[in-house]
């Protein structure tokens, strides 16, 4: 078996497993259908393409930086009639970072990795309005099992989040711990000896816009501890100054 780990980080993400009318929610972590859609798009698969091989991949995700839930209201007009559509309520995760992984046959995983390096359709984090802020690929495919790979991957949290977390301990007069505890969400295949902790309608069967179809998927929740020093702290972005690159103009003297 081969494992491919993905870094899912961006200003906004939205991973919905259910949508009712004008209310579009998001899960607290990337969904399998969303990540499979990202991989299928990178390969250039059309929406009506067969997804059997991708849906069969084992999937898991680690929550490195949980982010903050954000609600937005959006308006739209029909493209042909220009009639105003109903006001929609949409939810996002702001400033979140996840490490997601898929595991399967080595040849397929290698092709997915190569597709992410030169994607046919650009990846996005659940919705087209949510581009990634860092490269999605962390490294090439790994030999082994998915769960150990997720447990051993370096911590991918942002520099400001690391500093904020350490400062919260110092304010309480405590030294920052050497490890960080992270949530893991893993596929839980059906079986008589174990029931899933969560069941989501999140197994992609078809992305065809005429009739999207998703099956039920069991999820097992657990946690892991990762050394704080295992992941290189990423610097916070510089302050945004729109006029910083403008060439100053000398004042007129006439």
Model pLDDT, residue 250 = 57
What confidence score (pLDDT) does residue 254 get? 56
Angle at 250 between CA 244 and CA 254, to 5 degrees: 155
In this prediction, residue 150 carries a pLDDT of: 97
Q: Helix count (H) and strand count (E) of the chain? A: 5, 10
Backbone φ and ψ for 163, nearest 5 degrees, come out as -65, -40
The secondary element (H helix, E strand) that includes residue 106 is: helix 106-117
Nearest to 92 by CA among 135, 28, 156: 28
Q: Are 102 and 59 in contact (CB under 8 A)?
A: yes
CA pair distance 153, 130, nearest whole angstrom: 24
Beta bridge partners of 70: 92
φ/ψ region of 149 (left if φ > 0, alpha if ψ in -120 to 50, else beta) reads: alpha
How far CA 242 is from CA of 109, 134, 249, in Å, comes to: 41, 22, 16
Kindly tell me the burial class for residue 133, based on how many C-beta atoms sit within 10 Å of its own C-beta (0-12, 13-18, 19 or more): middle
Q: How many CB atoms lie within 10 A of CB 170?
A: 10
Is the distance from CB of 6 to CB of 101 less than 8 angstroms?
yes
Query: Which positions of the chain have pLDDT values less than 70?
Result: 18-21, 192, 230-254
pLDDT at 157: 95
Residue 145, SS3 per DSSP: coil
Task: Point out which residues pair with 101 in neighbouring strands.
Answer: 5, 60
Going by C-alpha positions, the residue among 154, 177, 181, 155 that lies closest to residue 166 is 177
Cβ neighbours of residue 220 under 8 Å, at least 6 residues apart? 185, 186, 187, 188, 194, 196, 197
Residue among 59, 227, 67, 79 at smallest CA distance from 146: 59
Strand locations in 122-212 (E)? 142-143, 179-187, 198-206
Interior/surface letters 69-79, b for 16+ CB within 10 angstroms, e for the rest: ebeeeeeeeee
Contact by Cβ (8 Å): 111, 43: yes
| pLDDT on residue 179 | 93
Give pLDDT, residue 60. 97
């Amino acid at each position: 078996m081969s494992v491919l780990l993905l870094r899912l980080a961006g200003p906004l993400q939205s991973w919905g497993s259910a949508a009712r009318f004008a209310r579009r929610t998001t899960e607290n972590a990337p969904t399998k259908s969303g990540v499979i859609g990202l991989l299928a798009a990178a390969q250039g698969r059309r929406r009506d393409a067969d997804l059997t091989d991708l849906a069969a991949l084992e999937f898991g995700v680690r929550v490195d930086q949980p982010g903050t839930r954000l609600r937005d209201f959006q308006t739209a007009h029909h493209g042909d009639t220009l009639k105003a559509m109903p006001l929609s309520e949409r939810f996002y995760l702001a400033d979140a970072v996840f490490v997601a992984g898929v595991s399967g046959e080595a040849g397929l995983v290698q092709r997915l990795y190569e597709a992410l390096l030169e994607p046919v359709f650009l990846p996005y984090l659940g919705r087209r309005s949510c581009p990634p802020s860092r490269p999605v690929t962390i490294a090439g495919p790994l030999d082994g099992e998915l769960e150990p790979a997720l447990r051993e991957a370096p911590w991918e949290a942002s520099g400001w989040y690391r500093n904020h977390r350490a400062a919260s301990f110092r304010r309480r007069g405590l030294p920052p711990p050497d490890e960080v505890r992270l949530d893991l969400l893993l596929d839980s295949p059906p079986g008589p000896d174990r029931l899933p902790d969560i069941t989501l309608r999140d197994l992609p069967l078809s992305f065809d816009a005429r009739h999207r179809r998703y099956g039920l998927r069991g999820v097992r929740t657990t946690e892991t501890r990762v050394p704080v020093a295992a992941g290189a702290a990423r610097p916070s972005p510089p302050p945004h100054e729109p006029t910083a690159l403008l060439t100053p103009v000398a004042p007129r003297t006439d």
